[in-house]
Structure 1
Amino acid sequence: MRIDGFQSEMQAMMMEATGTKTSPTGQQVANDFGDMLSRAINNVNGLQKTSGDLQMRFDRGDEDVSLSDVMIARNKSSVAFEATIQVRNKLVEAYKELMNMPV
């Protein structure tokens, strides 16, 4: 599998999707990735806060919150958190591989 061809194809698709005519610089890609990662982590945090809020409202006897709502929110936050952990593990693994490469 040729990685350079795959990378150029992905960059072309990204440029087409964003409507840009020039190829992105390394700094732009790093900023975009950092922003995307921050948004994903904030999304997971929001899901966990929502889950905790629903659980607290249910525990206090709020009639607007059902047990199924609490369980669905809890499972959503759990799946999102596990996915975040897996992404973190893959990033750490990739970093270690890069650090072990001979220069």
Structure 2
Amino acid sequence: MAVSGISGVESMLQQMRALVQAAQQGVSDPSELSPTVSSSQAATSFADELSKSIKRISDAQLTAKAQAERFELGDPNVSLNEVMINTQKANIGFQTAVQVRNRLISAYNTISQITI
């Protein structure tokens, strides 16, 4: 799950870089600008990737919580190691989401201060 989250973030960053480069060069469509952006990446919007990432983080948190509850109730199929690892994965995913949010807010504030 962590790999797909990282690739989602990398995809978002690549899209953001392409949009910045397109804006700097005055191109309306970033896919025309760089051949490194594939058609599948261009078709997926930043909002869609962000939404998917938030859903994955939420699912990881719910899974970790359910697994912890099963461990607390004495389910022999759930080990403490699994509970701790999945809880940490959910925590890292959440921290990553908070950092992405902070970066987005910072970028928005920077852009809003630009005079036209």
Fold agreement, TM-score > 0.5: yes
> Which of the residues 51, 55, 61 maps onto 1:42?
55
- Cα root mean square deviation, aligned: 2.5
User: Could you tell me which residue of structure 2 aligns to residue 71 of structure 1?
Assistant: 84
Cα distance in 2 between the residues matched to 1:61 and 1:10: 57
Q: CA deviation at 1:63?
A: 0.2
The one-character-per-residue Cα deviations of 1:33-78 (angstroms, maximum 9, x if unpaired) are 1100000000000000000000000000000000000000000000
Find the aligned partners of 2:33 and 2:101 in 1 and give their Cα distance: 22
Alpha carbons of structure 1 residues 8 and 73: separation in structure 2 relative to 1, 3 Å: same
Cα distance in 2 for partners of 1:34, 1:51 equals 26
Contact 2:71 2:83 in 1 (8 A): yes
Q: Identity of paired residues, percent?
A: 31
**CA offsets, 1:2-61, max 9 Å, x none?**
x558x779842113x639xxxx6xxx6xx6111000000000000000000000000000
CA change 1:10–1:65 in 2 (3 A) is: farther
Task: Give the residue type in structure 2 aligned to 1:43.
Answer: R
Say how many residue pairs are matched. Answer: 90
Q: How far apart in 2 are the matches of 1:18 and 1:82?
A: 28
Larger radius of gyration: 1
Alignment TM-score, normalising by the size of structure 1: 0.77
TM-score (norm 2): 0.68
1:14 match: 37
Q: Greater RCO between the two (CA within 8 Å, min separation 6)?
A: 2
Q: Which runs of 4+ in 1 moved over 3 A?
A: 7-11
Tell whether 2:101 aligns with 1:88.
yes
